Amino acid sequence: MATTIDPRRQDDLRPPAPRTRRRRGIVRVRWYTYLVLALAAAACIFPVYWMFVVSSVGSEAATQLPPRVVPGGNFLDLLRLVFETVPFVRSLINSFIVAALIAVGQAFLCSLAGFAFAKMTFRGRDALFLVLVLTMTVPAQLAVIPQYMIMSQLGWVDTLQALVVPGLVSAFGIFWMRQHISATISDELLQAARMDGANSWQIFARIAFPVVRPAAAVLGLLGFVNAWNDFLWPFIVLKSPDMYTAQIAIKALQSNISVDLGLAMAGSFLVTIPLLVMFAFFGKQMVSGIMDGAFKG
């Protein structure tokens, strides 16, 4: 059997099955279908949009009734004030460093482990995989006190590696990449490579990873989003304003009573912009990524 990789599939995250699913859909579209969906979409979009409206007008827009829905022209002025009030540039850079390293780490390490679980046979594999799935249900957040003690022993309190290192690889990501690798890479292809004398690392790096790169990229994006938005752990472990991530910086901005509401909203919106830009470009892939990671019947 010829084992060529279907080129279409490289850009399409869905495993091959959905191709036959064009005639999906059970419920007929009715008059209220769009009404329900439009209301839900509006509820999702409005808070973010309104944050921009207030950021672009000033605090008076927050208290104006009936609510103002048209953006103004003060966004850049307010931003300048934000940068003068808190060391925001530093915080944004910190967030970028942390989120980017976690994104790269997850895309690579989860693919590698997912490859081992999907395509290699080794003693204890199934037991290890069961453990991996079970770790997803461990409520690790309530162990923050010992986690802090460990960081303090390592001398990592108030450093960025305290945020990066624990997030470099995740059970969810490994589970997810295993699904993708099982669904998109045929055993025959790997066998052919093995016959040519390639070892497992070469097979991963030259064959498996290039094929699942789109899926790994979406995993990286989700990792970036989660790391960028993380609050509790940075809040515990970061002490000095120079080390703050953007989320901690806007918390400092919001709880400063002398800071005006428009300013706080502008800071909050600024922190959201990188994610909105990312979402505009890759939102569709993120949606199908989340749906592919889901249980299917």
Residues numbered 157 to 186 that lie near another protein (CB under 8 A) are 165-166, 168-171, 174
| Most distant CA pair in the chain, distance | 73
Closest CA to 270 of 101, 97, 89, 100: 89
Does an H or E element contain 67, and which? none
Site membership for another protein, residue 279 (CB under 8 A):
yes
Site membership for another protein, residue 128 (CB under 8 A):
yes
Residue whose CB is less far from another protein, 8 or 23? 23
Site map (CB under 8 A) of another protein, residues 84-103, x = contact: --------------------
Answer yes or no: are the C-beta atoms of 180 and 9 closer than 8 Å.
no
Which residues within the stretch 2-21 sit at the binding site for another protein (CB under 8 A)? 18, 21
Number of residues that bind another protein (CB under 8 A): 112
Other C-beta atoms lying within 10 Å of the C-beta of residue 276: 12
Whole-number Å distance between alpha carbons of 289 and 170 = 16
Site membership for another protein, residue 133 (CB under 8 A):
no
Q: Which two tokens stand for residue 18?
A: 């959905």
Residue whose CB is less far from another protein, 6 or 46? 46
Q: Which two tokens stand for residue 169?
A: 């690889």
Whole-number Å distance between alpha carbons of 266 and 57 = 10
Site membership for another protein, residue 138 (CB under 8 A):
yes
| Least distance in angstroms from the C-beta of 199 to another protein | 6
Closest CA to 230 of 219, 245, 241: 245
| Least distance in angstroms from the C-beta of 6 to another protein | 20
Site membership for another protein, residue 23 (CB under 8 A):
yes
Which residues within the stretch 190-249 sit at the binding site for another protein (CB under 8 A)? 190-191, 194-195, 197, 199-201, 203-204, 225, 228-229, 231-232, 236, 247-248
Site membership for another protein, residue 261 (CB under 8 A):
yes
Question: Environment class of residue 170 by beta-carbon count within 10 Å: exposed (0-12), middle (13-18) or buried (19+)?
Answer: buried
**Residue among 47, 70, 84, 127 that touches another protein (CB under 8 A):** 47
